[in-house]
Structure 1
Amino acid sequence: METRELAYFAAVAEELHFGRAAARLGMAQPPLSRAIQKLERRLGVRLFDRSSRGVALTPAGEVLAREAAKVLDAVAAAAARTRRAGRDDPVLVVALKPGGDGGLLPEILAAYRACPDAVEVELALCGVTERARLVREGRADVAFLHSPYEDLAGFDCEPLRVEGGVAVMSPGHPLAGRACVRLCDLDAGPAPVWPGRHSEIVEPAMLMQLAALGRLVVVAPESVRDLVRRDLVCVPVADAEPTTVVLAWPEGERSRELAAFVRTATMVAQRTAPHAQTRPTPP
């Protein structure tokens, strides 16, 4: 299959209308219909059910729609990475959410500048859901992600730091004065806990505002302490699932500047690893 054929198929699969798909592709409808028919003959399956009620994907078409999206995304990402690699002034684009580096980035950048293979680093500060997408689309070279909360499929990864959790809440919350809490304490509280209820909210500013209003308790990695608003408090959560800060980059990518960045980040993480501490036990 050619990527052109997959692009034709993907347009029809998304529009479920040959006329709209043809207009989107900037072509006439008859050649688009012929291209889809040719693809169906080649694969030996029907990809669309066509009837007076409209166009629908067959089970085989649903499978190809998922796979075609992956292929087309990979081709677009390869083109983007290739163009950036050919720049006269190469840069390494690092995607992260504010505070999502586990407190490691300043030392990593300082150490990386001394590496022989270092290039200029450009930071892509973005939302929680955008970091991995930027790397997959070829618009960033590497990202700080958090395991186990994010899909790491298609990435090579290097774990940097394991963090416990804290509950971010309003000072007026009944548990705000505790030295430590458990998840069951939070579940029994007056405000819902995130993640869980309201998991669709992913923007940190919105989460912090709801916590300040007493509408939500946010369980987050402990490094968030350095970023929370002054009208919020952080209470350690003894049994929160650990979060691992990882560096993630496209599987198989082996550029020298990226390798130097990963080595530097690993070295800094090992050097600055906090000494083992015993978590406080809640009463």
Structure 2
Amino acid sequence: MRVLVVGAGAVGGYFGARLTQAGRDITFLVRGERAKQLNTDGIRVVSPHGDLTMPVKVVLADQLKKPFDIIFLSMKGFALDQAMNDFAIAVGPNTTILPILNGMRHMETLSSRFGEEALIGGVCMVSTEMDKDGRIVQLSEVQKLSYGELNRQITPRTEQTDEVFRGAGFDTQLSTDIVQGMWEKWVQLAAAGAITCLMRGDIGEVARAPGGIEFSRAILLECIAIATVCGHRPTPQFQQQQIATLTAEDSKFTTSLYRDLLRSNHIEVDAILGDLLKHAQAHSVEATLLRAAYTHLSVYENRKQQSPRGA
């Protein structure tokens, strides 16, 4: 199975590197400067599961000539439109597109362009970032990738996908309820992102502040309420786990949304918070704290977009 990993950033680069290390046929679709870096230094990972540096296959968009069996997508939501133009020629009639983007809006975008039949769902649980030298740094030991058909069936293509990803140095799951998993990941990410970005601290710092635990719990409950009215009520186990995780006073947990904010990068505020609030509005769900976080972060992102250099 030939796999095209679109981008070689913190998430795609990490999973692509582990798959390459395991002997899978992986090609990274990247742009100029990242291509030069990978061709010169190889892909470099710093991880509690073992560091690695190794050469990888790299291709530019104008060098793509034929379809791949699997296209693995993990870019930021705001980069999806350009990415689709870049990899479109690699999508054939039997290509499986596996996106692990944040939120759910990307599924509609991809379906409109390539057809729903090309897509399977995906959820990743990993905390990584790319440092100034282009190394991918894993911040915690958690590393799991789940995937499955949107109609909850086990099919030959998901079994083939499972064969590619299973046994490659990270945890995997061939799911029969991947859409529920995607919604639960969205709830977690939106709640944690809103908490840390609005309060400008990690989960533990917020929990230790006066009123912090009540605040964090309230935001989480807003996100759960939205998912519930949309037909994807998180399981009781998930809810209890997230309450514990997002109110732990000794936690240093943050999200990519918060880390991007601290680095003055563009942020996925619309995909993670804005789209969730559209669902809330459609079902008349009050989400006062989540909306405050969205407005707050939209001011930041609008300023970034209006700046000549995006600074």
Q: TM-score range by the shorter chain?
A: under 0.3
The structure whose residues are more often helix, as a share, is 2
- Which has the greater radius of gyration? 1
Instruction: Specify which structure has the bigger relative contact order, considering alpha-carbon pairs within 8 angstroms and separated by 6 or more residues.
Output: 1
Give TM-score, length-normalised by structure 2. Answer: 0.24
